[in-house]
Amino acid sequence: MRMRKKKNLEPRLERCEDVTILNPQEMRSHWREIMPEAEKINLEIGCGKGRFITTLAAQNPQNLYVAIEREKGAIVMAMEKVKTQNLANVRFIVGDAAELLDYFADDEIDDLYVNFCDPWTKRHREKRRLTHRNFLALYRHIMRPTGHFYFKTDNVELFDFSELEIPDYGMKILTITRDLHSTDIPNIMTEYEERFSSQGMKINYIEAMFPQE
């Protein structure tokens, strides 16, 4: 579902240009130049309003975080959170996950997060799911062999699909649960997650890695 157009959206985006990568294709192979001392360069696909990425970045100032989001109305709020909190280790891309290979070189990303993406439940839309093997192939290119893939969703159909697709593609599932909040797995709740878990909906979670070669 698309968000309503935010008031003064373009001026707000312009005020956040210092945390925005306007030409991400030019950053390919050069992300470490933003923060040479970074222990890791981690990526969130679909950052929404930014609670997850800003909390994670604040807790881990030693890492650089890159967040991708298509919806300008959502990402501008994430950008504003970063500026309000004076976080120097977060950058944003207004873009699409399908373009990842244009944005990142091989082995440039450590850990990758996908939280509450569109489940694409209509027939013949499976290839748009961010856990479809076409996207997993992109992740494998840009992630280091030691990187971890983290996935959360409240959608049972998407999780059923992902639970099969991820190992079928050759990834090793390290952790899996259909009730994340009942476990002691460390977790940062997104805005969406907090709202729906408060209504009794269970959160599904997978942590996985690509095979070592």
Confidence of residue 1 (pLDDT cuts 50, 70, 90): very low
Token couple for 195: 């709202």
| Predicted TM-score (pTM) of this structure | 0.95
Q: Are 110 and 41 in contact (CB under 8 A)?
A: yes
Q: Whole-number mean pLDDT of the chain?
A: 96
Catalytic residue among 118, 160, 179, 184: 118
Burial pattern 38-60, b for ≥16 Cβ within 10 A else e, equals: beebbbbbbbbbbbbbbbbbbee
**Does residue 118 have an active-site annotation?**
yes
From residue 10, how far is each of 72, 73, 164 by CA, in Å?
Answer: 9, 10, 41
Q: Give 161-184 pLDDT, tens digit per residue.
A: 999 999 999 999 999 999 999 999
Round to whole Å and give the CA distance between 148 and 113: 9
Confidence of residue 148 (pLDDT cuts 50, 70, 90): very high
Round to whole Å and give the CA distance between 110 and 142: 8
The class that CATH gives domain 9-209 is: alpha beta
Helix axes 51-59, 72-84, angle to 10 degrees: 30
